[in-house]
A and B are shown apart, each in its own frame.
Chain A
Amino acid sequence: MTARKEKLFFYLIILLCILSLGLTFYTFVILPKTNIALGSFF
């Protein structure tokens, strides 16, 4: 793996982490109707 590709992957992984955490945060903290206890979160 080239240094350039490694750097690209490094940033891609960070982006993935931010996106997936953001999606979870949006679903369970921001969306008012999300209610996992009732099994109806979508």
Chain B
Amino acid sequence: MNRTERILEKFNRRFSKEFYIGLGIWTISFFLPYILLGYDSYIRVHDTLEGELVWLHILKESGYMHSLSNEVKLSAIMDGLPRNVLPSGFTLIANLCNFFDIFYGYILGHFIFKTIGYVSFYLFIKRYMTLNYLYESGIVFVCLLLTSIQFFTPFGISIMGMPILAYGFARLYYQEDFGITALIFFVFPFCSSFVWSGIEIIALFNIYLIYLFIIKHDHITKWLAAWGSFILGTILANIQFIYGMLFLEDGFRSHRVDYYQFNDVPNIQASLTEFFSFFFSTHYHVSIFVSTLIFGIFILSYYGIKKNPWSKRIFIAIVFIVLWQAFYNYIEYFTQSIVFIKSFRFNRFGFLLPFLWFLILLISLDTIARFRLLSKTIPLILCTQFLILFLANDETQHNYKKLWGFEDTFPSYREYLALEQFNEIKKIIPNTEENKIISLGLSPTIAQYHDYATLDGLFSVYNLAYKIEFRKIIEKELEKNPLIREKFDNWGNRCYLYADELGVENVQNCQSSHDSKKIYNLEINSDQIKKLGGRYIFSACEVKNASILGLQLLKTIGSEKDFWKIYIYKL
């Protein structure tokens, strides 16, 4: 038997025929819409096209993706945004977007991350779970369910990677070959988000190490080494962010220190609402409605058939995470003076929930599978869960709608980034650094994607002094609308040209041409825009009092048929 045959045999021992069929179904169903629709496919706007993904484009175009220096600034963004407040350039998703463009980088990253989830979940189940009754295709289906959840690609395997992390922890627990375990812990941070999972994993890891050291008095050398691998991986993967956070020049003060999320003392009613909302629907960054059916199945199987101690433990962990999330506002409220806690928001343990819920589902299905009549409901449960996740996943839902020719008002990648319109706009206004743009009713990332210098933007960190200067532009509009004022003053990651008449209903403040809105009384400080270097306004709606504001309409690009109709005003 030669080496290739040995490897193939090893694979065949580890992965079943059903696993390969599942992998094939997942691969085809994932790529099909993107291959057929291309740039006409839908890519999520929230925190993706409106933010994180375009940040990677900005970094790629600036050439500072892998720059380490704290001196490097993106002069085209705001007052010169330090490179090191933007996402790391050493993660997998950043490099995929750097190598390909953000569209293909996003799709490939999405596929890789979910495939990591699928394969590692299968391996985890096969190696460390005892499911005596559930048949193979049922197990594979549950693994496929993990690939169906709504998921934010820019955050990498923060959610999808939980099975592989659990696999690493199980290897540690059973004292298996340390090399692979250390590799898992070292590589994980390069594929995930520091903010969304890195900090939380380190916190949990620390708590467990303390438990091992003080209470269990266990031999913890390998645990410490794995912890070291994870810390080292985290530091290397996020070196720019950490370096920036610690050593950014004195003149820079993050706008996050000015966060104030409370207009009122936290109350029990709000916390209980948050508890039930988070319990039954989880969080839109993590997945939606993953728990509704599984919770019911768990209650039936646990209290009605057999009390499995593992599902109880996992359920307690879920309740604890949800309680932490629901009552975290009390912690935040009483620690407002501690800038570190205020800035980081340590309530993001929800990334563990989908994996934990699927573990409960597996155990519950195994319990149900013992009985002939009940076992017939397993395909129904799995298909229902799939449909729930399909409907709750905006990307699959909108892409398949577009593919099947259903009417879909959500913009495609091409439409949202106004690829055609900007070919024309660039002929009128070259995208030089002198021509600074401010956007009204459309996300500034659209202009940023087309390499325009912008005064506004959505950033998780920028200079507080700049925010104060920018506020002067929209001061009067903020006075008119308390909701927008609260959004900007107390949070302010979206440093946008807000207008009272547009409202904040659409958080992004984006008005597509379908809305055909007009602004009749815009009160912005044009002199302040000029002072900050602004030369043009790209507006998604007509400003009726433009002349009073000293704005000259140069041209309108696009028509009612397009997603955006862009009005170009010169200051």
Contacts and interface: CB of A to CB of B under 8 A. Distances in A.
Contacts of B398: 37
A41 B304 CA distance: 33
A39 B289 CA distance: 13
B112 interface: no
B290 to A, nearest CB: 11
Interface residues of B, number: 39
B293 A39 contact: no
Contacts of B64: none
Interface string A18-42: 0111011101110000001111111
A6 B371 contact: yes
A20 B44 CA distance: 25
Interface in B139-160: 150
Contact of B507 (A13, A17, A25, A39): A39
Contact of A37 (B296, B373, B387, B410): B410
Interface in B470-526: 506-508
A30 to B, nearest CB: 11
Contact of B391 (A10, A14, A28, A42): A28
A12 to B, nearest CB: 6
B388 A24 contact: yes
B16 interface: no
A17 B392 contact: no
Q: Which of A16, A21, A25, A29 has the most CB of B within 10 A?
A: A16
A16 B304 CA distance: 15
B371 A38 contact: no
Nearest to B389: A24
Residue among B285, B304, B384, B393 with the highest chain A CB neighbour number at 10 A: B384
Interface in B370-384: 371, 373-374, 376-377, 380-381, 384
A5 B373 CA distance: 11
B99 interface: no
Nearest to B304: A9
A23 B295 CA distance: 14
Interface string B265-297: 000000000000100010011001100110011
B379 to A, nearest CB: 11
Contacts of B46: 37-39
B374 A37 contact: no
Nearest to A13: B377
A19 B373 CA distance: 21
Nearest to A36: B394
B45 interface: yes
Given A1-B305, A13-B381, A38 B45 contact: yes
A37 B371 CA distance: 41
Residue from A14, A17, A29, A41 having most chain B Cβ neighbours under 10 A: A17
Contacts of A41: 281, 284, 288
Given A7-B373, A24-B391, A17 B381 contact: yes
Contacts of B373: 6-7, 10
A24 B300 contact: no
B397 interface: yes
B388 A20 contact: yes
Contact of A38 (B300, B380, B393, B506): B506
B384 A36 contact: no
Contacts of B380: 13-14, 17
Contacts of A36: 150, 284, 288, 392-394
Contact of A17 (B45, B277, B384): B384
Contacts of A21: 293, 384, 387-388
A39 B384 contact: no
9 contacts: A14-B380, A16-B297, A21-B384, A21-B387, A24-B392, A27-B392, A29-B391, A38-B507, A42-B277
Given A9-B304, A36-B288, 16 more contacts: A5-B304, A7-B373, A9-B300, A9-B305, A10-B373, A13-B381, A16-B300, A17-B380, A21-B293, A21-B387, A24-B289, A24-B387, A24-B388, A36-B150, A37-B394, A37-B398
Interface of B: 44-47, 150, 277, 281, 284-285, 288-289, 292-293, 296-297, 300, 304-305, 368, 371, 373-374, 376-377, 380-381, 384, 387-388, 391-394, 397-398, 410, 506-508
